[in-house]
């Protein structure tokens, strides 16, 4: 059948209308993917931005809590090598230093917590053999026999282990020097406090059994003693320990509170967590920013906080080379 021109136009119009509605029907499905693609592309940007912000926040925190301490101690001139060993209930801490005529010193070697002579010491002969080996290592390092000294605090001297060691040392012609808490405080100051800071600083030694604090006043060494970081084992409350430490801290003259040079087991642990390389001095984080773990750290932190709160001191400097027994060496004639 032959179509008329009008019929052809009508058929074309119907086809066009069909195409129009078909396109209209499928257009929403074509636009939806583009919208979804946009959301999937932009949504991951949020976590990326948060990750980019974290380093700057951490850096800012480290900057505010880790100020540097730029003091450099003088080096000894024509010094002599000496050794000192601190006897403890479970091991030795030993230090070899070079000391000159002006009592300027430099640490040459240190060993912490050595239990060499505590192992296999069933008999007196075992003790002497272990001590000979220990002393022999110091002699081999270059320390003369007469310049090796042994120190024990009054608390450690009461333990059976230390009494046995003392007896063994006596048989080898070595004398064990007992040290009181007041003497420990004075020795710590002589070792830790730089002469240039004598008029503006104090020294704090937080030990396990007790805490010693010392400062210079009127040309003399003043000292005080309070609870150590194991007070929690003796049913002492945190508040009582804090109050007593604060009362001792209150005795420190206002002029001596600018800087605190601090040593001891708990300060060592706090400094270790933030030490920068092999720096000699580490400025401790503020007490309120330290997260203590375990009873000993929590008790030590409580004492640290008491001294910080009472004195208002903002700079507590841990000395990695210092120990009160080195002060004992410096006090020798």
Distances (CA, A) of 283 to 14, 193, 265, 274, 330: 88, 15, 15, 9, 25
CA distance 16 to 13: 5
Instruction: Calculate the average pLDDT of the chain.
Output: 82
Whether pTM exceeds 0.85: no
| SS3 category, 256 | helix
pLDDT band at 127 (very low <50, low <70, confident <90, very high): confident
The tens digit of pLDDT for each residue in 297-329 reads 999 999 999 999 999 999 999 999 999 999 999
* Start and end residues for every CATH 3.30.420.40 domain found in the chain: 80-179
In terms of CATH, what superfamily is 181-331?
A: Exopolyphosphatase. Domain 2 (3.30.420.150)
CA distance 246 to 262: 16
Please check the confidence at residue 252 and state whether its pLDDT lies above 50. yes
Question: Which residue is associated with the tokens 């066009």?
Answer: 16
Distances (CA, A) of 50 to 43, 56, 58, 59, 137: 12, 11, 13, 15, 55
* Start and end residues for every CATH 3.30.420.150 domain found in the chain: 181-331
Question: Which residue is associated with the tokens 């000894």?
Answer: 76
CA distance 120 to 126: 7
Please check the confidence at residue 36 and state whether its pLDDT lies above 90. no
CA atoms within 13 A on the CB side of 258: 9
Q: Does domain 80-179 have CATH number 3.40.50.10610?
A: no
User: Residue 233 CB: number of other CB atoms within 10 A?
Assistant: 12
Distances (CA, A) of 324 to 157, 190, 262, 305: 16, 8, 11, 22
What lies within 8 Å, CB to CB, of 151 at 6+ separation is: 84, 85, 86, 87, 176, 177, 179, 325, 328
Distances (CA, A) of 104 to 41, 59, 258, 275, 329: 66, 37, 23, 25, 11
Tokens coding 208: 């396990």
DSSP 194: -
Please check the confidence at residue 51 and state whether its pLDDT lies above 50. no
Distances (CA, A) of 55 to 43, 51, 60, 63, 310: 21, 8, 8, 12, 35
Burial class (CB in 10 A: 0-12, 13-18, 19+), 186: buried
CA distance 189 to 198: 9
The tens digit of pLDDT for each residue in 158-197 reads 677 778 888 888 999 999 999 988 999 999 999 999 999 9
Count of H-run helices and E-run strands, the chain = 9, 11
For residue 169, which of 82, 81, 87 has the smallest C-alpha distance? 87
Percent above pLDDT 70 for the chain: 75
The tens digit of pLDDT for each residue in 200-235 reads 999 999 988 899 999 999 999 999 999 999 999 999
Tokens coding 175: 């004398």
């Amino acid at each position: 059948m032959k179509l008329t021109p009008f019929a052809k136009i009508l058929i074309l119009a119907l086809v066009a209308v069909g195409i129009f509605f078909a396109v209209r029907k499928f257009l929403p499905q074509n636009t939806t993917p583009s919208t979804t693609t946009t959301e999937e592309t932009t949504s991951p940007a949020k976590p990326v931005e948060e990750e980019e912000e974290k380093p700057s926040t951490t850096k800012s925190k480290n900057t505010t809590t880790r100020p540097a301490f730029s003091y450099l101690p003088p080096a000894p001139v024509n010094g002599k090598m000496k050794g000192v060993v601190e006897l403890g209930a479970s091991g030795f801490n030993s230090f070899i230093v070079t000391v000159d005529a002006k009592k300027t010193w430099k640490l040459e070697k240190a060993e912490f917590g050595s239990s060499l002579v505590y192992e296999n010491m069933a008999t007196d002969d075992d003790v002497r053999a272990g001590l000979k080996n220990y002393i022999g290592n110091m002699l081999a390092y270059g320390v003369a026999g007469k310049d090796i000294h042994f120190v024990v605090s009054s608390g450690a001297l009461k333990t059976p282990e230390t009494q046995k060691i003392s007896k063994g040392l006596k048989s080898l012609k070595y004398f064990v020097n007992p040290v009181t808490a007041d003497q420990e405080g004075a020795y710590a100051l002589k070792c830790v406090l730089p002469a240039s800071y004598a008029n503006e600083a104090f020294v704090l030694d937080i030990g396990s059994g007790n805490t010693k604090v010392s400062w210079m006043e009127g040309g003399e060494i003043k000292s005080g003693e309070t609870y150590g970081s194991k007070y929690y084992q003796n049913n002492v409350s945190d508040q009582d320990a804090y109050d007593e430490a604060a009362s001792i801290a209150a005795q420190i003259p206002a002029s001596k509170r600018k800087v605190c040079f601090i040593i001891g087991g708990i300060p060592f642990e706090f400094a270790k967590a933030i030490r920068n390389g092999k720096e000699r001095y580490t400025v401790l984080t503020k007490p309120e920013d330290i997260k203590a773990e375990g009873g000993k750290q929590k008790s030590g932190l409580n004492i640290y906080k008491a001294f910080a709160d009472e004195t208002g001191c903002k700079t507590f400097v841990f000395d990695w080379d210092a120990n009160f027994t080195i002060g004992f060496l410096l006090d020798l004639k």
